[in-house]
Amino acid sequence: MKAGNITPGNTVFIVISFEGRDPYSLAGGLGVRVTNLSETLADMGFPVHVFFIGDPKLPGEEVCQGDRLVLHRWCQWISQYHPNGVYDGEEGKLNDFNRSLPAYIVEHVAAPAISQGKLVAIVGEEWQTTEAMCRISDLLHQRGLRDKAILFWNANNTMSFNRIDWGRLNYAATITTVSRYMKHIMWGMGLNPLVIPNGIPKRLLQPVEEDKVQQLRQCLSIEDGTVLAKVARWDPDKRWHMAVESVARLKQRGMRAVLLARGGLEPHGMEVLGRAKSLGLSVSEARTTDNNNESYFHTLHDNCQADVIDIKFHLPQDFLRIIYRASDAVLANSGHEPFGIVGLETMAAGGIAFTGSTGEDYAIPYHNAFVLETSDPGEIEGYLAHLQEYPEEGIRIRNEARRTAAYFTWEAAAENLISKLESQARIQRVLVGHRPPPRPESKEPIEQRPLEIEAGKIGTIECLSHTSPSWERGWRCRPPALYSRLLRITER
């Protein structure tokens, strides 16, 4: 291959995951990641094959997006006996996955593409795919094709790390992960993964309708009070106790506050709500069977006198964005978060995210979010009191949050992935030449405004092209995203 960069004309993508786009296959963020990444690559013109544990009632193979995206639903003969989703009967599916998938991929997708002079990029997701990735590598070696394929394996979290043969996997594939936090965890294991962040769909950057935002606050009868929201599994790592205790502290201050809580089915939820009641907070359940905004508003209004509203109905993305924008704080305050999609979605909606201090690389303290350093609910209380006293700070943070989120789309994530695949391809000498330079960007500041840097010092924040030759002294902030733009602080 003589091309100097990866293009739709010279590369075929293969994505391997247990989760996928079918409702049967969606159990969490992994299915969303695989769906968005594969669809984005197909939108960019790449041929993409996705192998996942699919709905047994749907076709085993389905072609989408102008023949560029091919869905391969695997283990359907097992899934028909396990109707409760992708992880029902997981071990049996895993055995069949490892036994049958590698040979099929090599024989029917990888080898034909390589014979046409194309590069094959294979991306495996999560621990369930590690054995399959190793076997694919072995089969390619046996056929003398391994150097024509780039194998990346991605860790979205630390789940079942104890089941992975890291030495074998590290030999067979390039290991990647989703944040610097995860990279540092894996450094401690003797690994050195590449970081390829997650993203959000571009549509989430659209402004939220302000009339819906005001309608939600009116339904909660809290126009001048404080609305908190938290959307997460009922899991101790999500720091739910910190969330309800912060509501109690605000109430003790004499502030009217309500927490919109959307958890899952985990038993920890009973413990959290019991803790809320022991703190003197009133708790109610909001239920509705009608799937439309008006019914959601109506049921929230019916429960508006409670301090904690336990939302028991499904929240579609559009209504979640209204909640994120209407809230004074969205508590994405996990103690262990590999990446933190909720925080990023909040920022895209123009909300104020209170993140933890783990995998949320996009969060810059006091600039586009509040980054919680402890598990002390007093920290949430203090920031909310500050925002109430200085409402202009909230407006500024909301604006910066939306600007930052624009750097973390799936298109940006796909470009990041492609760049790192190209680097690996050159190491393997599959690609020859250099990647064309990026289009020149204007070096004029996008916007300038005063920014308090530290006590007694005022500076100006400028968003500059990454091509700027100036690496000035006086850095005070991290780059907002993907290192495509820099924040340069210059003192007056």
Say how far apart CA 391 and CA 286 lie, in whole Å.
Answer: 30
Instruction: Name the residue among 335, 374, 376 with its Cα closest to residue 237.
Output: 335
167, 185 contact by CB (below 8 A)? no
Which pLDDT belongs to residue 432?
66
Q: What is the pLDDT of residue 332?
A: 97
* pLDDT at residue 438, as a whole number: 59
Contact 311, 260 (CB under 8 A): yes
- Residue 44 or 490, more confident: 44
Q: Is the pLDDT of residue 471 over 50?
A: no
> What pLDDT score was predicted for residue 435?
53
Q: Which two tokens stand for residue 67?
A: 């023949």
pLDDT tens per residue, range 11-42: 999 999 999 999 999 988 899 999 999 999 99
At residue 223, the pLDDT reads 76
Q: Are strands 69-74 and 485-491 parallel, antiparallel or unpaired?
A: unpaired
Q: How far apart, in whole angstroms, are the C-alpha atoms of residue 476 and residue 274?
A: 42
Cα 232-234-237 angle, rounded to 5 deg: 80
Q: Which domains does the chain have, with CATH numbers?
A: 11-199+410-427 (3.40.50.2000), 203-405 (3.40.50.2000), 450-491 (no CATH)
Cα–Cα distance, 369 to 353 (Å, whole number)? 5
- The band of 171, judged by pLDDT with boundaries at 50, 70 and 90, is very high
Q: What pLDDT was estimated at residue 441?
A: 55
Proportion of the chain above pLDDT 70, given as a percent: 87
The mean pLDDT of the chain is 89
**Helix orientation angle between 293-302 and 317-326, rounded to the nearest 10 degrees:** 50
Q: With cut-offs at 50, 70 and 90, classify the pLDDT of residue 222.
A: confident
If you average pLDDT over residues 348-371, what whole number do you get?
97
**Each residue of 388-430: pLDDT tens digit?**
999 999 999 999 999 999 999 999 999 999 999 999 999 998 8
pLDDT greater than 50 at residue 448: no
pLDDT the model gives residue 207: 96
In this predicted structure, the answer to whether residue 460 has a pLDDT above a threshold of 90 is no
Check residue 430 and give its pLDDT.
Answer: 87
Specify the pLDDT at position 437.
Answer: 57
Residue among 434, 428, 435 nearest 150 (CA): 428
Paired tokens of 18: 């247990």
- Token pair, residue 106, equals 């090599």
